[in-house]
Structure formats: structure tokens, C-alpha cells
Chains A and B, each alone.
Chain A
Amino acid sequence: MNHLALLFISNPLTPLEHIARHVLNWLHGTVGLPWAWSIVALTVIVRMLLVPLTVRQIHSMQNLQRFAPQMKEIQKKYKGDKQKQNEELMKFYRENNINPAASCLPMLAQLPVFLGLYYALKHFSRENPSLHPGSLSFLHFIPSIAAHTTTHWGGYVLLVVYVGSQLASSYYMSASVDKTQRTLLMVMPVVFVFVIARFPAGLVLYWVTTNLWTVGQGLITRRLMPKPAAPEKRTSRSPRQDDGDGGGNGAKPDPSGQPPAQPARSNAPPRKVRRKKAGRR
């Protein structure tokens, strides 16, 4: 039996660990970065490789938001039957030529890196016994990236940064219009903080870096790709238009030319708006 086969039998994730360790060693030894910054650099490399995937994902997410009113309508219609709701949504995507934003592959592509890094950091001290104790520190507040996050007060700071960055990245990456799902995405980091507190600090560092990258990417793409045109702002004095353009209810125009799903306009007189007297302080 050759060496490679033996590796797979002992732990199928060992090759991943070896790759992660080799890359870290290269970044530390050849490039000359400290260990903690090698992790940051590794994360940046991975995310740079995934840029084509994520840009495409953000693009389709913005496209998806234009159809939000109609999708909400479908969700409301099939509220009780999740299966039917999903099927109808998929049908709607197909009919309107929409490419749903979320897909499994970009997420899965990060999984091997994450697992490799996890094992590499777990066995870090064992593999590098001659390490100088200070060489594993990060920005003077994390004494060792290979130790559990909660072994030092700096780890708690890192965990707070993690929660903040995860919330920000969820905000940019959640394409779903489902309110429950969005809430879940927002609650999740707070729950997971208890899980990842047991992870090596370096892994949390990886996570924070990847989240910050997501946020930066979201900010840049939002600036570069113009948002779909917002409906014209109208006041109560504007002349009425009978083309059914949504009358300032926040609905975005539908590029497919279909009128957005909305309640029919009543023939009631225009709503009177009571204005506050000029009382600016």
C-alpha cells in the first residue's frame, strides 16, 4: 500500500492539512510573513481565487432584488406549504430568466481550506516544537493563534470582531427575501460564537478576514454596479399617471415589462397629508 493511500485511511482530511501547512510554511518561510499574517494572506489568496464566483453571485443577487415584490407575493400565497412555495419560486425564476444568487459551490470551495487550516492549527505546536513563543502572536493582543480563542482576553476581542464582521457579511450576502431566513442569518453568529470559542484563534482570524473581504467586496460591487433604477419620487401634488407605475410604494420597476403585483388603485380622492408646522430646531 502506498503512502498516499495510508494517509487517506488514517484521516481523509490529512492531505488537506498537509496542503494548508505547506502554504502557511511557504508564506512564513519564503515570503517572510509572521504566522498570523500568513493566515490572513492565505485567506486573501483563497478569496481572490473565488472572486469570479462571488462577483457573479453578487450580480445575480442585485438582479434578484428587482423581483422582490413578485417573489414576496408567491411566498404569501403559499405560506402554509413550504414545498409548493419553493416549487413556485423556482418556476418563477425559470419564467423570468432569473439566476438565483445563492449556490452551493462557492461555499463548498472554501470548506477544504477551512478544514485544512483547522487541522493544521490544531497540530501546529506538535509539528513545530522549536517555535519561539512570541512568533505565534497577532497584533500583540492574541498571544498564540494555535491556542483556543478563549485562553486569553484578546481572544474575546477577536470573537466580538468576528460577530460584527459576520453580521456585516451576512447583510451583504443574504439575497433571500424570506424574513425568517434573514433573521436566522442575523442570529446565527451570536449562537456560533459559543462553538468557535473552542477553535484555535487562527481559525477565527481566518473567519474574520474572509468576512471582511466579503464586506469589502459587497461595498465595491455595490458602488461599481448601479442599482436598478428607483421609481420616480412623487409628492401628493404630482399629476397622477395611469400607467400603474407603483405610485411611490417602493416597488422597483420590472424590466421584463410585466406590471408588478400590487393592489389595484382605488378611485378615492388623494390622501391628505398633514404637514408639521415649521418647527425645526
Chain B
Amino acid sequence: MNLVLRVPAYLGVGLVWLYRATLGMLFPTTCKYHPSCSEYAVQALRTHGLVRGGAMAGWRLLRCNPWSRGGFDPVR
């Protein structure tokens, strides 16, 4: 990923970290996936940039519902 794409992606990563440090602490939960949704979001943003990585993270959050089976689901 070139620098132009990397900067917005790192902004997204920063937001995830902000969430983890604040609201993520207030609403403790354990994710049914491995890596957890926030970790997945960080990895997806770093690998695929803000737009695609963000969409992947959003799709993962939607999949992380009580009806899904969870499991090992790394960023590809």
C-alpha cells in the first residue's frame, strides 16, 4: 500500500484503538471469532486500506451476531 492510502488507513486504526481504550472497556465482551472483531478491523485496515479494510471490518461486525457460528477467521 502506498503512503497516500496508508494515512487514512492509520486514521481508521487510530479510531479502533480509541474505541478499545474507551467504549470497548465500558462494554466488555468476548468475541466469538478469532481474531476478535477489533483486532480483525486493525489487520484489515493495515492490509487493505481504509475503504476495503473498513468494509471488511463492517461485514465482520455484522457476521458477529448470535446466529453465526464464529470461529477462526483471519484477514485474507
A: residues with CB less than 8 A from B are 53-54, 56-57, 60, 86-87, 89-91, 93-94, 99-108, 110-111, 114, 170, 175-176, 181, 184-185, 188, 192, 195
Contacts and interface: CB of A to CB of B under 8 A. Distances in A.
A175 B32 CA distance: 11
B62 interface: yes
B61 A104 contact: yes
A99 B69 contact: yes
A94 B61 contact: no
A100 B61 contact: no
- Looking at A57, A103, A195, the one whose CB has the most chain B CB atoms below 10 A away is A103
Interface of B: 23, 25-34, 36-37, 61-62, 64-72
B61 to A, nearest CB: 6
B29 A102 contact: yes
A90 B71 contact: yes
B72 A53 contact: no
Interface of A is mostly: helix
A103 B64 contact: yes
Given A56-B67, A94-B69, A105-B61, A100 B28 contact: no
B68 A103 contact: yes
Interface of B is mostly: loop
A216 to B, nearest CB: 19
A87 B34 contact: yes
Given A103-B32, A104-B31, A60 B66 contact: yes
A107 B29 contact: yes
B31 A105 contact: no
A106 B69 contact: no
Given A53-B66, A107-B27, 20 more contacts: A54-B66, A56-B67, A60-B66, A86-B34, A91-B71, A93-B32, A93-B69, A94-B69, A99-B69, A102-B31, A103-B64, A103-B68, A103-B70, A104-B37, A104-B61, A105-B65, A111-B23, A111-B27, A114-B23, A188-B28
The 8 closest A-B pairs by CB, nearest first: A56-B66, A100-B32, A104-B64, A105-B65, A102-B30, A86-B34, A90-B72, A104-B37
